[in-house]
Amino acid sequence: MCGIVGYIGNDNSIPILLEGLKRLEYRGYDSAGISYIKDGIGEVIKRQGKVSALTEAVERENISAPIGIGHTRWATHGVPNEINAHPHYNREKSLFLIHNGIIENYLSIKAGLVKEGYEFFTDTDTEVLVNLIDRYIKKKNLSLFQAVRYALNEVEGTYGIAVLSIAEPDKIVVAKNGSPLVIGIGDQENFIASDVNALVSHTKQVVYLEDNEMAVIYKDRFVAKTISDERIEKEIHEITVDADEITKGGFPHFMLKEIMEQPESVRNSMRGRLILDEGLIKLGGLLGYEQRIANSNRIIISACGTSWHAALVAEYMIEEFCGIPVEVEYASEFRYRHPVIRKDDTIIFISQSGETLDTLAALKEAKRRGALVMGVCNVVGSSIARASETGVYIHAGPEIGVASTKAFTSQLIVMALITVLIARNRQMSQIEGVELTKAISELPEKIQEILELNDQIEKIAEVYKNASNFLYLGRGYNFPVALEGALKLKEISYIHAEGYPAAEMKHGPIALIDDNMPAVFVAPNDPTYEKIISNIMEVKARNGKVIAIACNGDSKIDDMVDHVIKIPTTHRMLTPILTVIPLQLLAYHIAVKKGLNVDQPRNLAKSVTVE
């Protein structure tokens, strides 16, 4: 949440800041702003709303400055407006600060500053931090770096910050605790950002700051230290993301592009990892840990949102084929409820961004207690990936649309690979391993076949675009798909939707059924099929409208439902990877037909880096 970008060098910082903010807008789009220093004068320009509003305001000024910072906001403290937008500054407009995170003890700090004569004009916690830094500069006669360091030792909470000072116009001071921050290395120029996506047009070399680390960024170098003022050496990493990967590529929305990329993204998730003739899986990130994982007394999977739905599917996979008890936890609850964690547990943390704050905090707690900690992430070099003892990248490629699509199916692919890897180290035979690996390898073509139903699904969306409520129902492996389908519709169309195990319908939700309430049934040819058919009949008996996701060749269901979307058959463990795709398209088309911004739905941001 919130996007941070900064530049120092010989070029004009302004277009670089604006380009970076546009690339980071999926992290927050309530308001945006920049601050820059030129000829000893510091200025701030900020606007409520999208980065485009800021761009219009900035371009009218025809500004050129060699140093600047920018921010796109997802509101936490204070409503989205121009006053609360970042950057924030002190009374003299000599200090400028942008911030991602939450200062939890800001009220007590603010009270102390008010007693000393400081005035506040916003509702944000960030304004408190910039004035606290100002106080240390004035009262202690400290340098910018030392003032920031002293201030951060006083605050509680999370932050990724960047600070400018007119008194020291040759540097940007940055710091991180809980919110991501990366330094981009150039030739006589350096960059900062909360996400490498903001940097890909300018550099491939980056340095990741860890928690409780700071840095002073000059145009020709950077100096990294701990918050306790100890000098540290940082490793430079090479990023592989290309600028073309984070453009729409001719599609009207990132979400549609990412849905349509799924044949390739799932192929990338399995590439080089299948040994088909032996029914084996090769995962380099788990090398040396295979037996430790296979001998786990218990596996816990922790995640948030869509990743939590992937974890639920993985629970079915691992328990059925590996015979290991699995528990699935919301990361936001896991860290606070004093869970029982043992040293022979393996705990898997799933996160698209690898920066989800709740998941990262849960990981650190599990690691502290001695369990084996495994990360399943999309973003290479992300905080969760770096903090994990072992793990697997899903290699889905950049996902810009706030509503996750291709990352979900790639997470399922990787969890299927992990399942086969564990099972082959336990009781799974080579014959069964060959069957599963072959089925996995066939998925890209089957996904492409489903995507060719896009026009049919759009027509169904036209029928139901004005519905007020939806019910999504599935059983077994496809109960989590019902949850995910409902979430996608809620996220981007703002239609109330609920996902349930189909058998639970009779325990309450069936009371909602009438001729205005569409029910979406996930009904592949698996062991639960006959039970699902019975549930469909119960809905139809009450005049409910039914949309079914069924398999090719299933003619039995045709006369029972109002609409049916037919998909290819696959191994029962892998059906969620196929059944979810029509639900992604259905949600997308309904939202588009309602005239909504599917890539930037209200109140949501792509990466949740605050609690």
**What local confidence, expressed as pLDDT, does residue 67 receive?**
97
Measured distance CA(131)–CA(141) in Å, rounded? 14
Range of lowest pLDDT (59-68, 178-187, 334-343, 454-463): 334-343
**Sequence-distant (≥ 6) Cβ neighbours of residue 298 within 8 angstroms:** 324, 325, 326, 327, 342, 344, 345, 346
| The predicted structure's pLDDT at residue 10 | 95
pLDDT grade, residue 610 (50/70/90)?
A: low
Rounded-to-integer distance, Cα 558 and Cα 566, Å: 10
Coil, strand or helix at 3? strand
Please check the confidence at residue 196 and state whether its pLDDT lies above 70: yes
Please provide the DSSP assignment of 413-440 as one string. HHHHHHHHHHHHTTT--HHHHHHHHHHH
Reply yes or no on whether the pLDDT at 546 is more than 60: yes
Predicted confidence (pLDDT) per residue in 227-237, tens digit: 999 999 999 99
Average pLDDT, the chain: 93
The whole-number pLDDT of residue 611 equals 55
Q: What is the pLDDT of residue 426?
A: 93
39-49: average pLDDT: 93
pLDDT surpassing 60 at residue 178: yes
Active site residue 2: yes
Where residue 239 falls among pLDDT bands split at 50, 70, 90? confident
**pLDDT (average), residues 271-277:** 96
Q: What pLDDT score does 605 carry?
A: 65
Residues contacting residue 215 through CB under 8 Å, at least 6 positions apart: 173, 174, 175, 183, 207, 209, 222, 223, 224, 225, 234
Structural domains in the chain?
3-245 (3.60.20.10), 251-441 (3.40.50.10490), 448-603 (3.40.50.10490)
Higher pLDDT: 538 or 246? It is 538
Q: What percent of the chain has pLDDT over 90?
A: 77
Average pLDDT for 346-372? 89
Q: For the segment 17-27, what is each residue's pLDDT rounded down to a tens digit?
A: 999 999 888 77
Catalytic pick among 46, 171, 176, 606:
606
The span from the CA of 504 to the CA of 48, in Å, is 45
DSSP 283-330: -GGGTTTHHHHHT-SEEEEEE-HHHHHHHHHHHHHHHHHH---EEEEE
pLDDT of residue 507: 82
Mean pLDDT for the stretch of residues 230-257:
87
Q: What is the pLDDT of residues 308-317, one digit of tens each?
A: 999 999 999 9
- When pLDDT is cut at 50, 70 and 90, the band that residue 608 belongs to is low
Question: Is pLDDT at 413 greater than 60 in this prediction?
Answer: yes
pLDDT digit string, tens, across residues 119-143: 999 999 999 999 999 999 999 999 9
- Check whether 396 has a pLDDT greater than 90: yes
Is 551's pLDDT higher than 80?
Answer: yes
Torsion angle of the four alpha carbons 384, 385, 387, 388, in this order, in degrees rounded to the nearest 10? 110
Q: What string of DSSP letters covers 42-83?
A: EEEEEEES-HHHHHHHHHHHT---SEEEEEEE--SSS-SSTT
**How many CB atoms lie under 10 A from the CB of residue 11?**
16
Q: How confident is the model at residue 244 (pLDDT cuts 50, 70, 90)?
A: low
What amino acid is encoded at 456 in this protein? Answer: Q
Is residue 377 part of the annotated active site? The answer reads no
The pLDDT confidence band at residue 79, using thresholds 50, 70 and 90, is confident
Residues 479-525: tens digit of each pLDDT: 999 999 999 999 999 999 999 998 887 787 777 788 888 999 999 99
Contact 193, 24 (CB under 8 A): yes
Q: CA 416, 269, 577 angle in degrees (round to 5)?
A: 50
- Is the predicted pLDDT of residue 419 greater than 90, yes or no? yes
Please give the full DSSP string across 214-242, using - where no structure is assigned. EEEE-SS-EEEEETTS-EE----EE----
pLDDT confidence of residue 378: 92
Is the predicted pLDDT of residue 439 greater than 90, yes or no? yes
Can you tell me the mean pLDDT for 549-565? 95
Out of 2, 304, 322, 551, pick the active-site residue. Answer: 2
